[in-house]
Chain A
């Protein structure tokens, strides 16, 4: 089974609107971390936001927030007030704290912000 599933290969959003990028995960580890990365066309991987499995509140970092629904095993990324510079690939990732340092990545979502 896939550890991380991103079901949206491509998404479009109007500039200044909000967009939600979906991510579901699969683990039996009680302690884990969920991460979102942005990869622009230049290739670098930019860390955006983190959510721990024991965190009670949803993580927020500026215009990024993570809609964490533990029972559903989902960790959707919400980008508010989209900007043209948000156009990029977005990857959801998970680390299982008891099984090592390895990160599992989803297949990614390509976001295009329309002016």
Chain B
């Protein structure tokens, strides 16, 4: 079963709206979660690393004020796309690594992603 839950799966909203996407680790505590953006037929682009209890680390070129990340608990990280515009339309996907067990062979577990469409 899924170990990382992402909600919502689909969002369609008007330009100027802020949209919040939730990412939950279901049976482990994740001090670190990752947020990716993916354009059609392209690879995952890391947007930011979400750190529980501290500020997120954003990748170069990602607007911090546009993409607000909050990691308020060990099982929940949220990505808020503020004042969304059509160019923000994309597939957003989160991931987390189970810290239990051997570190090196732990895969990243992904949520099912959120398809965001801004009209």
Taking Cβ atoms with an 8 Å cutoff, the residues of A that contact B are 31, 33, 35, 37, 42-45, 47, 50, 52, 89, 91, 93, 95, 97, 101-103, 105-108, 110
Provide the main secondary structure of the chain B interface. Answer: strand
Contacts of B108 in A (CB 8 A): 35, 47, 93, 103
Residue from A33, A50, A52, A105 in contact with B44 in the complex, judged by beta carbons closer than 8 Å: A105
- A43/B113 contact (C-beta < 8 A), A102-B46, A108-B43 known: yes
The proximity string for B residues 100-117 relative to A, scoring 1 for CB distances below 8 Å and 0 otherwise, is 000111011110110100
Provide the main secondary structure of the chain A interface. Answer: strand
Taking Cβ atoms with an 8 Å cutoff, the residues of B that contact A are 32, 34, 41-44, 46, 49, 91, 93, 95, 97, 103-105, 107-110, 112-113, 115
- A47/B107 contact (C-beta < 8 A), A102-B49, A106-B43, A107-B42 known: yes
> What residue of chain B has the Cβ atom nearest to residue A50's Cβ?
B105
> What residue of chain B has the Cβ atom nearest to residue A92's Cβ?
B43
Q: Return B11 CB to nearest CB of chain A, in Å.
A: 14
- A107/B112 contact (C-beta < 8 A), A47-B107, A52-B105 known: no
Residue from A31, A47, A102 in contact with B109 in the complex, judged by beta carbons closer than 8 Å: A47
> What residue of chain A has the Cβ atom nearest to residue B36's Cβ?
A105
Contacts of A105 in B (CB 8 A): 43-44
